[in-house]
Structure 1
Amino acid sequence: NNSNSSRGSEQELQMQKQKQKQKQIFNQILMTFLKGYPQARSRPFPVFVAEGKRVDLYDLSARVRILGGYQAVTEKGKWGAVAENLGLEPSCGPILKLVFAKYLKLAERWLHKLRAANNNGEIVTFQQTPRSGGVEANNDALAGTLEWIRCV
C-alpha cells in the first residue's frame, strides 16, 4: 500500500517536471516569436496583472483552448471564469482577454497560417523581413514544436 502511494507521488512529480519543462519551452518559443514583431517587442515578459500577480501564458493558453478558443470564451463571456481558474479574481477577466490578444492571438494566427501552408504542401522557412523587421513565413521544426505545445 505504501509502495503504491510512493509510486503515485513519483508519477505526479514526473508529470509536474514535464509540465514545467513544457511551460519553459512554450515561454522561450513565444518570446522568440514575439521578438520577430516590432509591435510586440516592447511588451513586458513575464506578464503581471492586478496586485503584481504573474500571468502564466502557458496556463492561459491551455485554459482558453479547453474552453473553445479566444472567440468562444469571448462570445460566452467566460473571461472571468478563466481568471478564477488561474487563481485570479473574476474581475481580472478583461485584463486576461487583453493579455491573450496582445501575446497569444498573434502567435495563434501565425500558427494557423503555418498549418494552412503545411496542409497545402508548401515548404517555407524563417527569415527576417527587411520591410517590417518581422518574421516572415515559417519553419517546420518550430511549427511542429508550437503545435506540440499547443496540444499538450
Structure 2
Amino acid sequence: MHDLWTNIQKELREGKDSFVIQVRDAWLNKPTLEEAVADHLLRTLAQADITEDFLHRLAGQADPAWTDSFEVDLRAYFDRDFAIQSYLEVLLLSRGFMAVSAHRLAHVLWQSGQRLSAQWINRRVAELWGIDLHPAARIGRGLVIDHGMGTVV
C-alpha cells in the first residue's frame, strides 16, 4: 500500500496544472500519505480563532487510529467515482473524502470525551462541505459520499 503515496508524489512532481504547482511543496514534504492528508485537512479546517497549530496539537493528542482509513477511503473514492481521474484529484477536490476524514478525527475525539472539540469539527465540516456526520456515528472504512451536499448522518 506504500506504493499509493509514491504514485501520488509522482503525480505531484509531474503535474503541470497551476493548482498542482501551487500545492506541490506542501504535499511533497510529508513522508506518509496519512501525514499529508491530516495536514491538508487541518489547514482547511482552521480559521481565525481555531488555528492550524491548535488543530495539529488536538489531532496529535487524539488516538492515531483516526488516520488508519485514509488509504482505504482514498482508493474507494478513486474506484467508485467515475468522474475522478487521479488520486490527487480526490485528495485536493473531493468534499466527501475531506468530510469523512474530518469525521474520523471528530469520532475519536468524541470517544475520548472531547465532545466540544468533536462537535466543533462537525460544525466546521458542515460549513465547508455541507455534510453533517455526527461525531458519535460509527462509519466503516471505504465510505464514499460523492457530492454530499445536505447529507446528514
Q: TM-score, normalised by structure 1?
A: 0.26
Q: TM-score, normalised by structure 2?
A: 0.26
When Rg is computed on C-alpha atoms for both structures, the one with the higher figure is 1
